[in-house]
Amino acid sequence: MALQEQFESQGNWLFRYRGILPIIILVAGIAVLVYSKTDPSNFFYNKTAQEVAWYNGACILICLIGLAIRVYTVGHTPANTSGRNTTEQVADSINQTGIYSIIRHPLYVGNFVMWLGIALATYNFWFVIVFALIYWIYYERIMFAEEQFLRRKFGETYIAWAAKTPAFIPNFKLYTTSRVSFSWKKALKQEKNGLVALFLVFSLFDVIGQVGRGGHDYNYILYGICATTLIMYCILRYLKRKTHVLNESGR
């Protein structure tokens, strides 16, 4: 099999099972965090409690920035684009305005930033480096497969857009206003998982950190936010499955 076909085949397979990568990163991150908290030579361990709190807050902020990128992207897209489908590639049109005017894969950029915050929260520099390399190799194949699909379906229209729009590093000079208005309903439907998962992970990390060093300074504010997002998730899930409140024509 030629390298081009091999990359595409691998990308399509990884696309279908891309939900597995976060689980692998999380399990590895927990193991690294436990190690980091029990070995004083590790990154950031010897900082004061206040400095650690600020550092953890910065990690959460990084994750929220990644989530905001995803929310902004999803909220400005029409139906059958930028979805969470896992069985096959789907695209009724090419998104070329808004955030898609400055970057071709904003959702994967958002994912990277979110998981970067979690990787940093393990307090281990080398884990962050390994995470970044694995993420790039993993999603490079997926992006390649997606672009092959779009190239075949939309031809010169796609080629012309891709020629001027960066794949992963945004060029803000190219920005044009989105032709689609922002939809909170679509954003809430698609991104509710990410918000609750973020605070569940950081709550878990906080518990592990306290147990690992024998501390008792549990972050109850974080746990409260986690509980609130979990309640919001349950409400939104119910509304999505049992009602039409979050439905919106064309979105």
pLDDT one-digit tens code per residue, 226-238: 999 999 999 999 9
Q: How confident is the model at residue 96 (pLDDT cuts 50, 70, 90)?
A: confident
Six token digits for residue 162: 């891709």
Phi, psi of 233 (to 5 degrees): -60, -45
> Would 203 be classed as within a structural domain?
no
Report the CATH number at residue 16. 1.20.120
> Would 121 be classed as within a structural domain?
yes
> Would 219 be classed as within a structural domain?
no
pLDDT for 138-168, tens place per residue? 888 888 888 888 888 888 999 999 999 998 8
Six token digits for residue 94: 């090419």
Phi, psi of 43 (to 5 degrees): -50, 120
> Would 86 be classed as within a structural domain?
yes
For residues 75-80, give the mean pLDDT: 81
> Would 241 be classed as within a structural domain?
no
> Would 130 be classed as within a structural domain?
yes
Q: How confident is the model at residue 25 (pLDDT cuts 50, 70, 90)?
A: confident
> Would 161 be classed as within a structural domain?
yes
Q: How many domains are there within the chain?
A: 1
pLDDT for 186-245, tens place per residue? 999 889 999 999 999 999 998 887 776 676 788 899 999 999 999 999 999 999 999 988
- Give the C-alpha distances (Å, rounded to integers) separating 18 from 6, 76, 108, 249: 17, 23, 11, 28
Residue 41 in this model has a pLDDT that exceeds 80: no
> Would 251 be classed as within a structural domain?
no
Residues of the domain holding 177: 3-183
| Residue type present at position 240 | K
Six token digits for residue 160: 């012309």
